[in-house]
Amino acid sequence: MSDTVSVSREVAAPPERVWSLVSDLPRMGEWSPENTGGTWVKGTNGPASGARFRGTNAHGKKSWTTNITVDTCERGREFSFEVTAAGFKVARWSYQIEPTTSGSLITETWTDRRGRSPERSASRSAARRMTPSKPGRASKPRSSASPTSPSRAPDSAGPNLSGHGPATTA
C-alpha cells in the first residue's frame, strides 16, 4: 500500500509553458474535477516559495476550502505545495518538469498527508460494515469518502499543455 501516486507524461510543450500552467493555482479549477479555483492570500499575487493560496473545492453537493502553501517554486523545473484543511494536513502535490527533445516530461505526484492511504481507508470502512454495531445486528454501511480525498488519480485529467485538445491518459 502506498500513500503516494506519481504519473509521468511527455507533452509537446516547453518546460516554461508547462510550469506556468501547473503553478497558476487560480486556474487549477479548469482541469480539476474537484478544485474550483481560489485566490492568492497574504499579499501574494503569484507562485513563490512560501506563498499562500486559499483553494475552493466542490464534490457533488459538498463544498469546502483548503489552505495551500507553496514549498518548491523553481521556474520551468518544479512546483509543489502542501494542502491543509481545518488545521489538518491533507496532501502534498508536486510537479517535476524535465526538457525532452519533443517538449517536456512532467511528473505529477500526490502524497496523502492524512496518515492513511486510500486503500487502508477502504479496508477499514469495509471492516466496519461487516462488524455488527450490537450483537446479533448488522451495522449500517458507512462511507469512507472524505471531502479531501482525491476524486481522481492524478493522471486522469490535466491542463491542456499542447493546445491540441484535452489531456489524455497513457
Could you say which residues of the chain have pLDDT below 70? 1-2, 116-170
pLDDT of residue 119: 58
What pLDDT is stored for residue 42 in this prediction? 84
**CB-based contacts of 60: which residues, under 8 Å, 6+ apart?**
none
What are the extents of the domains in the chain? 4-130
Q: Which of 96, 98, 47, 55 is nearest to 73 (CA)?
A: 47
CA–CA separation, 168 and 70 (whole Å): 27
| Angle CA 97–102–108, to nearest 5 | 25
Nearest in space to 107 (alpha carbons), one of 82, 73, 71, 79: 79
Output the CATH code of domain 4-130: 3.30.530.20
**pLDDT of amino acid 31:** 87
The pLDDT of residue 11:
96
Q: Residue 55: what pLDDT?
A: 95
pLDDT at 117: 54
Predicted local distance difference test score (pLDDT) of residue 121: 55
pLDDT on residue 120: 53
Picking from 148, 108, 77, the residue whose alpha carbon sits closest to that of residue 4 is 108
